[in-house]
């Protein structure tokens, strides 16, 4: 939500302009951003993280939609990916990286999106075709993109994506709070201790192994 809000309100660009002396008198058209209330947030991947994003987004009056292999119990609209891309003002990616999602958002998909849309990738870098994204941002297929993950990762400093005002890139900091990182360490320790004791892992990524 932090990077979505930052992109919607053009915070990095406006802060840089202020720092570099381009902030003159108040202008009614200066640094206009996107409204959240009444806009549609399309969530690709309504798992644990996608649901958490939806929960936080509701407080901003955003309409929610999601694309998921399976329909879940939710007040958000369940849409095919194509319709989600065509109708959403914000598209936030939270799907796992696998054979079916590698390069999922490429030229075809980016051209489906609104020219005013903002893309947020908080999933895995390779879910988005970075070369296609560069063309989308330079040729105004979409308004802007925010990347917490990239392909490759870390993204080399020479990448042209860093030069674009409509692309915000942060170094995979989605879980970078003291509380979240502490809980991640605790979960790892709980799994380790259970495994050493020959017990079922309490936080198993692939619980189906216990059914074999």
Q: What are the catalytic residues?
A: 124, 153, 172
Closest CA relative to residue 40, chosen from 86, 107, 9: 86
CA quadruple 199, 203, 204, 207: dihedral sign: positive
How many beta carbons lie within 10 A of that of residue 46, not counting itself?
24
**Residue ranges with strand state E in the chain:** 40-44, 63-67, 77-78, 90-93, 118-121, 144-147, 167-169
State the DSSP code for 46. -
Instruction: Report, in angstroms and rounded to the nearest whole number, the Rg of the chain calculated over CA atoms.
Output: 19
């Amino acid at each position: 939500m932090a990077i979505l809000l930052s992109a919607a309100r053009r915070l990095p660009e406006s802060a840089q302009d202020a720092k570099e002396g381009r902030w003159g008198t108040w202008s009614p058209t200066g640094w206009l951003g996107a409204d959240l209330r009444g806009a549609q947030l399309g969530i690709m991947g309504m798992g644990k993280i996608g649901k958490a994003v939806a929960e936080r987004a509701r407080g901003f009056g955003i309409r929610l939609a999601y694309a998921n292999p399976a329909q879940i119990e939710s007040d958000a609209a369940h849409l095919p990916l194509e319709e989600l891309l065509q109708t959403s003002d914000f598209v936030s990616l939270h799907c796992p990286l696998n054979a079916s999602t590698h390069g999922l958002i490429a030229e075809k998909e980016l051209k489906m999106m609104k020219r005013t849309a903002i893309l947020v990738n908080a999933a895995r870098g390779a879910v988005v075709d970075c070369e296609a994204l560069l063309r989308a941002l330079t040729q105004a297929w979409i308004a802007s993109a925010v990347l917490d993950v990239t392909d490759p990762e870390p993204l080399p400093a020479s990448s042209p994506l860093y030069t674009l005002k409509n692309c915000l890139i942060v170094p995979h900091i989605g879980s970078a709070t003291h509380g979240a990182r502490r809980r991640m360490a605790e979960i790892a320790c709980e799994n380790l201790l259970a495994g050493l004791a020959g017990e079922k892992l309490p936080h198993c990524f692939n619980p189906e192994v216990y059914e074999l």
